[in-house]
């Protein structure tokens, strides 16, 4: 193991596993990943925070509520202006009964996500906010989309390493966590690719819907978080209905709750709270 670890300093290496007793299958070569090796490209942390305002907040005076909204909005504006941080606000007023506001934060630094949450907690409005849903994920290179190319790569995920999330300016964002069966991961890579080819081809028929896939293995309760951007609610509904018929979808354990978010500047999103 010492020798294997030394070779691993050059990257990922393979070493032969010890022989096994007769009658048992011999395992394949062990892959050793060097924990000290720098990643070949920067990856981003992605946070989806869904807030709900308590009814008691609306009983505060108009002046108090205005001050609360401005204090929280200022925190969001300052973090959104920070270099390397992407911070978008969305309203769920009228689209979801248990969440009113969603903040989508993207950064290469986990500390930025922590600082944003801590600063929100320090506001007066935090005493009237709940966080009923919260998802943490990271970007990661996809193994399924390399062969799929779009005429306009900005419209959907196509031939992309997915290491960088670049939210567009579309009106709606549809978000949900996602978990697959353990049996899915036992399939051969070729079989998984075959099923995903069908799944991805369905998405190609809806070029107005852009998917952003992020990964949560070990970071949060789900395995993926997917966020679809579109100007058409109908296109997204039809896409999801069609994908229900794909073979890959039979390996879905959970893909709820699902959120319909409306792109809204932070001042307007907070004004919609009351």
Q: DSSP per residue over 209-246, as a string?
A: EEEEEEE-TTTSSSSEEEEEEES-HHHHHHHHHHHTTS
Does 141-262 match 45-136 at the fold level?
yes
| 232-250 mean pLDDT | 96
Residue 4 scores a pLDDT above 70? no
**Superfamily of chain region 141-262:** Apc35880; domain 1 (3.30.70.1030)
Contact 31, 8 (CB under 8 A): no
**pLDDT at res. 53:** 98
**pLDDT at res. 165:** 84
**pLDDT at res. 141:** 86
- The domain spans of the chain are 45-136, 141-262
| 234-256 mean pLDDT | 96
Cα(71)–Cα(57) distance, integer angstroms = 15
| pTM score, whole prediction | 0.81
CATH architecture of the domain 45-136 equals 2-Layer Sandwich (3.30)
């Amino acid at each position: 193991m010492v020798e294997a670890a030394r070779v691993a300093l050059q990257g990922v290496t393979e070493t032969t596993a010890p022989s096994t007793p007769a009658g048992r299958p011999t395992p394949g070569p062990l892959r050793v990943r060097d924990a000290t090796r720098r990643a070949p490209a920067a990856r981003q942390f992605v946070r989806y925070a869904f807030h709900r305002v308590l009814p008691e907040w609306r009983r505060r005076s108009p002046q108090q509520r205005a001050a609360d909204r401005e204090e929280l909005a200022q925190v969001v504006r300052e973090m959104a202006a920070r270099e390397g941080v992407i911070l978008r606000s969305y309203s769920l007023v009228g689209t979801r009964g248990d969440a009113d506001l969603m903040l989508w934060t993207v950064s290469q630094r986990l500390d930025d996500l922590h600082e944003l949450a801590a600063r929100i907690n320090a506001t007066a409005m935090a005493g009237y906010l709940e966080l009923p849903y919260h998802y943490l994920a990271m970007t990661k290179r996809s193994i399924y989309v390399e062969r799929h190319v779009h005429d306009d790569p900005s419209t959907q995920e196509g031939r992309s390493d997915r290491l960088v999330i670049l939210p567009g300016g579309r009106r709606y964002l549809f978000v949900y966590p996602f978990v697959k069966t353990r049996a899915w991961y036992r399939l051969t890579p070729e079989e998984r690719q075959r099923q995903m080819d069908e799944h991805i081809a369905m998405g190609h028929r809806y070029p107005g819907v852009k998917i952003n896939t992020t990964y949560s293995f070990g970071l949060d309760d789900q395995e993926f978080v997917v966020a679809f951007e579109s100007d058409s609610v109908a296109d997204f509904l039809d896409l999801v209905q069609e994908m229900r018929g794909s073979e890959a979808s039979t390996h879905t354990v959970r893909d709820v709750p699902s959120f319909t978010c409306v792109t809204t500047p932070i001042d307007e999103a907070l004004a919609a709270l009351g």
